[in-house]
A and B are shown apart, each in its own frame.
Chain A
Amino acid sequence: MRRGDRADLKPSMLAAVGLHLAVVVSGLIVWPWGKPVQIANVTAITLTPSKAAPPPPALQAPEEQHATAPEPVPVPEPPKPPPPKPQPTPTPVKPTPPPPKIDPKGIPKPMAAKPKPAEPDFLSSLTSSLDKTVKPQAATKGPPRQETAPVARTDPGAEQATANAADAVGARLNRIWNKSCGVEGFRDVVIHVKFNLTPEGALQGAPQVMDPPQSGNSVWQAAADRAVRAVVQAAPFGELPKATYGQWRVFNAVFNGREACQNQ
């Protein structure tokens, strides 16, 4: 290759290298709008076709016929009924397909529908949040009033405020919690859900199920989901007085399957 040719190729080479680099780098970056949603479980089940011969027409009922007949019976009367036999003859119907097979291929992970802003640097975000939280208390407003402080008091008035809040939240959760007493094992499940509220009574962060998930216990998992759903649906608790926020900031809701299903 001549020197002049090389000089001619230089801009295009640079562009090509640049584009390749861009592709490689873009592959390494976790784009915020491409954040995959976690798939809890992916299994593929294969139902293989039946190899057996189809059932005799006289014994196979078309579904449509069954659905539209005024006095439906499983099959239409056979045009030529088979001669009576002393013994019942084997009359195979749709055989069951062989057991499903697990296919390692999973479905692709769904993507978030809308782009989310990129997460800021941890240190700078912590610093900026500190700027918001520390300043008002320490510098501008001085020490917080006892009622609105996020620390509980211990006097009788405070105890009453706490009791009132417990009653209000408990009543709401009891009206919303959709229990499933017919499920075997539900009566033995007690789920503890911890959640924080803002002074306005809205949820502060996601409710946390306190007991560690018991691996493979589907009844427990479904019950935990129902308990969390009840808390999310019940919020906000606007009836809680802001003035006594310090007395009702953090809740531990105990969803008791045994007591709830006692008379069912």
Chain B
Amino acid sequence: MRLRSLLQIVMAVCLAAGLGAGQARAEITVNVNQGVTQPLPISIPAFNSANAVGADIARVISGDLERSGLFKPLDPNSFLERKLDVNVQPRFTDWKTIGSQALVNGQVTVDADGRLRVDFRLWDVVSETQLQGLQFTSTPENWRRVAHKISDAVYKRLTGEDGYFDTRVVFVAESGSKVKRIKRLAIMDQDGANPSFLTDGSYQVLTPRFSTSTQEITYMALRDTGASLYLFNIETGRQETLGKFPGMVFAPRFSPDGSKVAFSVERGGNSDVYTMDLRSRATTRLTTDPSIDTSPSFAPDGQHLVFNSDRGGSPQIYVMNADGSGAKRISFGSGRYTTPVWSPRGDFIAFTKQTGGEFHIGVMKPDGSDERILTSSFLDEGPTWAPNGRVLMFFREQGGAGPRLWTVDITGRIQQQAPYPGQASDPAWSPLLP
């Protein structure tokens, strides 16, 4: 009997080898080079918890992923499997039936020391596999940040790139009449939650910019006595001026490592780009052209800057070395190009373009190629990059309703109003929170 079994195994191996040879000859190569771009259907049921926080966390995650435009959270009323346990494999058939391709489930518990513990798992419903299982602990009041961190984890696992949900946005909150405009520095979570004012409105605030590496802001304050630049540490609340300059200073922006600030100084109708070393407070003049050179923005490697200049007759975009040498024009389209901002991942430069009676937000490669217009309206201006370099926030003014914050992704397909319903301009996106 045993011998017969062994004989059969030998025959099977021979047969398999024969089939394998046949299969190798018969293997058909199929080139899949088109594809579609659709939001991924995902289910995010309320996390199990003793109170409402489980549902709140699921709602925040759902909102984050939906706003990215890459996911389509399904209606919880359509869910067939109701009593999910984070420690038990879900019934994949139930989730496939409703068209879901991914599932995020979790539970919220409170530890003996009062800390919130959130476990979650991400499942690939189609392949019936677990893609991720993570646990976060925090104080209960930090539940929103935990939700954003889960959104970031899910986003990264399903797209491959870093998320941008555990971030904040500073902006200029506007109110009052046009003749007596109040412009206050304000901050909110990227999803519009936790809005706060950072200044009291007794002076005008313009062009706030986040550091790309720390929770620090630089901005321009405009008073009756003149303009000045400030540094503002959000974590400590410490604020300091960058000092006095011979002329009007504006358009500050941090270097990638946060050690310098680049800005413009205007004197006698001529604006030039400067940098200041924040430790030594030494300033360096980078441009000397008798024209308006402004809006400097560092490349993520810190070796180059992009800026805006009308030295060629109209405002265009130029790139130069960090020491001011080698300035080279990169925009050649019709219209006026302003507010260039280098992407944190380095592949694009975003800008505002004015042409054909409209304003546009666009992007181009750092060498000026591949220019793409992403938005158009009566007034679109002031793009800022999300830290993953995929989404831009800007402000739009149309129909006399005052400026509003909007977002657009780098493909231009996903364009929507940001979740801040008040009047606001000049947004600046923070890096991911630590």
Contacts and interface: CB of A to CB of B under 8 A. Distances in A.
A160 to B, nearest CB: 13
B230 interface: yes
B377 interface: no
A60 interface: yes
Interface stretch (B120-128, B243-251, B259-267, B309-317): B120-128
B63 to A, nearest CB: 13
Given A113-B89, A134-B11, A73 B173 contact: yes
A71 B421 CA distance: 7
Interface string A228-263: 111011000000000000111111111110011000
Given A74-B197, A151-B25, A169-B30, A183 B160 contact: yes
B289 interface: no
B97 interface: no
Interface stretch (B187-195, B275-283, B351-359): B187-195
A130 B232 CA distance: 75
B35 A49 contact: no
Interface residues of B, number: 102
A105 B109 CA distance: 15
Contacts of A174: 32-36
Interface string A195-229: 01000000000100000000001111111010111
B132 interface: yes
A110 B87 contact: yes
A90 B239 contact: yes
A177 B32 CA distance: 8
Given A85-B202, A178-B35, A254-B30, A38 B130 contact: yes
Contacts of B40: 178
Interface string A68-90: 01011111000001101111111
Contacts of B19: 150-151
A249 B159 CA distance: 31
B221 A88 contact: yes
A72 B33 contact: no
Given A95-B235, A254-B31, A110 B130 contact: yes
B347 to A, nearest CB: 7
A59 B234 CA distance: 13
A74 B196 contact: yes
Chain B, interface SS category: mixed
Most chain A CB neighbours (cut-off 10 Å) among B159, B160, B409: B160
B239 A225 contact: no
A129 to B, nearest CB: 8
A232 B101 CA distance: 11
Interface stretch (A3-11, A18-26, A96-104): A96-104
A134 B12 contact: yes
A150 B411 contact: no
A103 B389 CA distance: 30
B82 interface: no
B326 interface: no
A86 to B, nearest CB: 8
A225 B131 contact: yes
29 contacts: A44-B134, A44-B137, A47-B146, A48-B139, A61-B197, A63-B194, A73-B175, A74-B422, A81-B200, A84-B202, A91-B199, A96-B215, A96-B234, A97-B142, A107-B134, A110-B133, A111-B89, A130-B11, A152-B22, A180-B159, A206-B127, A219-B161, A225-B131, A230-B35, A232-B126, A249-B26, A250-B27, A256-B31, A260-B34
Interface of B: 5, 8-9, 11-12, 15, 18-19, 21-23, 25-38, 40, 70, 85-91, 101, 119, 121, 124, 126-127, 130-139, 141-142, 145-146, 149, 156-161, 173, 175, 186-188, 192-200, 202-203, 215, 221, 223, 225, 230, 232, 234-239, 241, 345, 347, 389-390, 409-411, 420-422, 433-434
Given A103-B137, A134-B8, 12 more contacts: A46-B137, A48-B139, A69-B421, A73-B422, A89-B239, A165-B28, A166-B29, A181-B411, A182-B410, A182-B411, A219-B161, A256-B31
